[in-house]
Amino acid sequence: MATLRPHLTVHSGGGIHCYWRLEREQEPSEIESLNRRLCQLIGDDMSCADLGWIMRLPGSFSGKRGRWCRVLRADRSRALVDPDQVRQAVPDPEPPRPAPTPRSNGYQGSRTDELALIDPPTYFRALAGADVSADGGMIPCPLPDHEDSHGSCQVFAAPDRGWWCYGCSRGGRIYDLASLLAGGRWGAELRDEHFLRARELARAVRAAPDDGRRLGASAHGRRVP
């Protein structure tokens, strides 16, 4: 749609990034919803909708790609985009899911699950021995099947935001990390007996010293199928 063309298009060194200027500020959850709609509109990677996604600034250098980020097209003369226009033009492909019930075995756990309330920096230090501050940040992905030398894993400070690795496109909550560290499932596939096994591994966080030491074989000595 011509009226929803991006105001700024840049080549990051590894791909195309598009930017839209909005008429008014939006809540973070609404920004992610708008991002999903725009990603669907242009056929882009849906993982770019996450607020934690770091967009490379024009003029910066990508050490990973060995290329500069450059502007391809910029048009500041066009009118700002009305967020409601985006909502009316494109449906949200992944609307927010309802909160799980206390009896749910979904991988996100329930609101009464004390493990689900542990902040990501704490369980990353306990389960993976990761050097991450209490405020979170970007760290090398600790998953055993991902060699990450550029720090692609975003660890958020709040439990409801969890973590996400932009290098291997995996993330989630404490249960996802515990399962993936043991070679198991994650996300929508982490259900039923797989979730129960991941929860057993995650319980070790409560007994772990909060000094950056990684848990031993008791937590990671067996593979989760």
Q: What is the rounded distance in angstroms from the CA atom of residue 72 to the CA atom of residue 138?
A: 28
- 225 lies in a domain? no
Are residues 69 and 125 both part of a single domain? no
Of residues 215 and 129, more confidence is placed in 129
Are residues 148 and 206 both part of a single domain? yes
Q: Are 20 and 7 in contact (CB under 8 A)?
A: yes
Are residues 67 and 121 both part of a single domain? no
- pLDDT over threshold 70, residue 219: no
Q: How many CB atoms lie within 10 A of CB 19?
A: 13
Are residues 44 and 140 both part of a single domain? no
Q: Which domain covers residue 80, as residue numbers? A: 2-89
- 8 lies in a domain? yes
- pLDDT over threshold 60, residue 98: no
Are residues 77 and 152 both part of a single domain? no
Q: What is the rounded distance in angstroms from the CA atom of residue 94 to the CA atom of residue 33?
A: 8
The per-residue pLDDT for range 9-53, each reduced to its tens digit, is: 998 877 888 888 999 988 888 888 888 888 888 777 776 777 766
Phi then psi dihedrals of residue 139, to 5 deg: -135, 165
Of residues 52 and 220, more confidence is placed in 52
Structurally, the chain folds into a number of domains equal to 2
Q: At what angle do helices 120-128 and 192-202 cross, to 10 degrees?
A: 80
- 11 lies in a domain? yes
**SS3 label, residue 199:** helix
Are residues 21 and 59 both part of a single domain? yes
Residue 58: half-sphere exposure toward Cβ, Cα within 13 Å: 13
Q: What is the rounded distance in angstroms from the CA atom of residue 131 to the CA atom of residue 116?
A: 21
The per-residue pLDDT for range 140-156, each reduced to its tens digit, is: 999 999 988 778 899 99
- 105 lies in a domain? no
The CATH number for 73's domain is: 3.30.70.1790
Q: Which of 73, 89, 105 is the last residue of a domain?
A: 89
